[in-house]
């Protein structure tokens, strides 16, 4: 199958050839025709499957075909959970639509509101935004969504997990009732099911892999380890396996900083991104990692959303994430675009319950690799006293076991006992004179 057979027209075809997009991926083969048909869509797709091009190409072609000279106003809205993913999606739209007369804006925090407002005032056709910043612009009336034809929620499960359900509801009220809705998610959580029931009308269901599954190109390994030996084991694995680059995920930002410091002390060039870092610091760290200037990037789950490095071979989970679905997003950063990848997870005895829940979500056990010097020590059971031969045969052949005489403990006397003693003594009668 080719992009031409999917009814992609020459202006976009030429751009795709320049970008060396020769054959559509499975998700693109399924998604593009359904968007052209105008159906609402619920798609299950992992990161790295080409899902962005799957919805960007038909949207760009539709908008370019109906473009009126000089009229730029929002006709497509794409919501994404983080600024990093917004930036990535915007780059993709600009790259695919470089020969089209369409303008794209990316809205997210960490950038001056006024700068974004000026861009919107000049006119844009496609708005890509985080839910929070979008509501700010709607409140300030710097943006109108009255003419939006396409609504896309990319990584919809994460949008809801991050608590943006109120912002999504407010956005839906600002949109025209007649539009095409596209929900794309790696997992199908209960809140997402509720949103899909509310938002989608007779949707087409598209699944490359079942939602909540891991890409087949990724091989997983689980290393049992004592909690205080995790950094040491992580350093050993990155070094011994000769990975040119490694992305390390950590639950908490404080722990992320500790891990980054520990790896740096071990001689590994390491940077870290988390919520306490400014947008500029995060961007510089990501760019250095993409260029290969640093070997290890330590990140919290939210900070790494939208990170796209097709050649990344290894992802490490320093712990099991609070939101189990984030594990699927973590390991989806490797094994992209059909390439092979490896995912390592370090699990301490304190995470045994979370591990059971994770493997229940995956539907299988993650293969264990035990390194004796790092693995948790199994607690030894108290040994029972061995009985002597005479004790074992005692009582055999009708011979009774001799009972060990029991000694009763003498009760402690009290003052009351003293009174009893006095009462029990006979009183002597006094003799008369």
Spatial distance between the Cα atoms of 4 and 376, rounded to a whole number of angstroms:
56
Residue 433 pLDDT class (50, 70, 90 cuts): very low
End-to-end CA distance of the chain: 139
Q: Which two tokens stand for residue 214?
A: 């891991």
Q: What pLDDT sits at residue 55?
A: 96
Question: What's the token pair of residue 189?
Answer: 């959580």
Rounded to an integer, what distance in angstroms lies between the CA atom of residue 28 and that of residue 383?
63
Sign of CA dihedral 96, 99, 102, 103: positive
**Residue 301 in this model has a pLDDT that exceeds 50:** yes
Q: Sheet containing 41-44: which strands, arranged edge to edge?
A: 104-107, 126-129, 76-79, 150-154, 180-185, 41-44, 204-207
Give the rounded distance of the alpha carbon of 388 from its chain centre.
59
| Domains annotated on the chain, with CATH | 10-207 (3.40.50.300), 218-362 (3.40.50.300)
**How much is the CA Rg of the chain, to the nearest whole Å?**
34
Full-prediction pTM beyond 0.85?
Answer: no
pLDDT above 90 covers a percentage of the chain that reads: 55
CA dihedral 311, 312, 313, 318 (to 10 degrees): -170
pLDDT tens column, 64-120: 999 888 899 999 999 999 888 899 899 999 999 999 999 999 999 888 999 999 999
Q: Which of 21, 48, 54 shows the shortest CA–CA distance to 341?
A: 48
DSSP 2-34: -TTTTT--HHHHHHHHHTT--S--HHHHHHHHH
Q: Is 87 helix (H, G, I), strand (E, B) or coil?
A: helix
Residue 277 pLDDT grade (very low, low, confident, very high; cuts 50, 70, 90): confident
Tokens of 56: 């960007």
Most confident stretch, 148-152, 182-186, 194-198, 281-285: 148-152
Least confident of 131-140, 154-163, 344-353: 154-163
One DSSP character per residue, 404-417 reads PPP-PPPPPP-HHH
**pLDDT at residue 399 greater than cutoff 80:** no
């Amino acid at each position: 199958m080719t992009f031409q057979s999917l009814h992609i027209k020459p202006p976009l075809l030429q751009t795709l050839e320049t970008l060396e997009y020769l054959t559509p991926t499975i998700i693109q083969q399924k998604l593009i025709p359904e968007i052209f048909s105008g159906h609402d869509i619920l798609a299950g797709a992992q990161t790295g499957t080409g899902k962005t091009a799957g919805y960007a190409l038909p949207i760009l072609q539709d908008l370019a075909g109906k473009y009126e000279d000089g009229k730029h106003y929002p006709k497509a809205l794409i919501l994404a959970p983080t600024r990093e993913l917004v930036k990535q999606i915007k780059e993709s739209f600009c790259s695919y639509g470089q020969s089209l007369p369409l303008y794209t804006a990316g809205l997210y925090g960490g950038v001056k509101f006024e700068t974004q407002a000026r861009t919107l005032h000049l006119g844009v056709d496609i708005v890509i935004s985080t839910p929070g910043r979008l509501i700010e612009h709607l409140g300030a009336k710097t943006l109108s969504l009255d003419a939006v034809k396409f609504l896309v929620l990319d990584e919809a499960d994460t949008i809801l997990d991050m608590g943006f359900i109120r912002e999504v509801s407010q956005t839906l009220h600002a949109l025209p009732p007649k539009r095409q809705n596209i929900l794309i998610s790696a997992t199908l959580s209960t809140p997402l099911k509720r949103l899909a029931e509310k938002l989608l009308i007779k949707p087409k269901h598209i699944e490359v892999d079942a939602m909540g599954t891991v890409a087949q190109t990724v091989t997983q390994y689980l290393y049992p380890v004592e909690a205080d030996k995790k950094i040491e084991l992580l350093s050993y694995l990155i070094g011994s396996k000769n990975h040119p680059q490694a992305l390390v995920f950590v639950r908490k930002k404080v722990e992320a900083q500790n891990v980054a410091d520990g790896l740096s002390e071990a001689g590994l060039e390491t940077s870290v991104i988390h919520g306490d870092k400014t947008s500029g610091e995060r961007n510089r760290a990501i760019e250095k990692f993409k260029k290969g200037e640093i070997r290890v990037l330590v990140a919290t789950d939210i900070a790494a959303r939208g990170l796209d490095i097709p050649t990344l071979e290894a992802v490490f989970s320093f712990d099991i994430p609070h939101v189990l679905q984030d594990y699927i997003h973590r390991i989806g950063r490797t094994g992209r675009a059909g390439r092979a990848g490896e995912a390592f997870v370090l699990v301490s005895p304190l995470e045994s319950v979370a591990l059971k829940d994770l493997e229940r979500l995956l539907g299988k056990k993650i293969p264990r690799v035990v390194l004796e010097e790092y693995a948790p020590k199994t607690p030894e059971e108290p040994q029972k006293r061995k009985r002597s031969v005479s004790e074992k045969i005692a009582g055999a052949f009708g011979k009774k076991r001799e009972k060990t005489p029991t000694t009763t403990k003498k009760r402690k006397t009290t003052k009351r006992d003293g009174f009893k003693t006095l009462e029990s003594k006979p009183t002597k009668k006094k003799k008369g004179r």
